[in-house]
Each structure stands twice: as structure tokens, then as C-alpha cells.
Amino acid sequence: MELFSEIYSCYYSVTSKILQNSPQFITGDYLPYRLEYSQKNDRFRIYVTKMNGTKPLSLGTINLSRIYHIYMTDKCLPGSC
């Protein structure tokens, strides 16, 4: 259980494609809060909060097959590090 609390309390810098066959990418710091599998589409998606420092900007969904680059940042939710 400790691993999952660490995964969901740390920010991740993600670079992903805007559309599957698009040459355009989007990058930002995200805080994941739910992983979901769609049997209908045979895809995983992760629900995230886009962060600006410690402030949430917006909620979103990232299709895992569109992620180009990801790494864990040194930022965490306040009180969880």
C-alpha cells in the first residue's frame, strides 16, 4: 500500500502526443489520481490533475499509449514528502 500512496502523491513530468498520429506534443507536471482500463477501446488511461507548483490547474485524462516521455519529479503533495 505504501508504494501506491507514493505513486499518487508525487508529481510526474509527462510529454505526450496531442493525438495518436500527431507530430505535436504537450508537456506538463501532473498528479495522477486514477488508472482505468477500457475494454471497449482496449486502452489504459490515467486521470490526472495538471499542476502549477502546488496549485491545481485543471483535471484531465492521458491515454497511456500517447505518452512519449515520463519521469518522477522531486515535487510532492504538501505533507506527503
| 20 and 65 Cβ atoms separated by less than 8 Å | yes
pLDDT in tens, 8-29: 678 888 888 877 777 889 899 9
Express each pLDDT in 34-71 by its tens digit: 999 999 989 999 999 998 888 889 999 999 888 889 88
Domains of the chain, first to last: 2-74 (2.30.30)
- Please state, in angstroms and as integers, the Cα–Cα distance from residue 51 to each residue in 15, 25, 41, following that order: 14, 17, 28
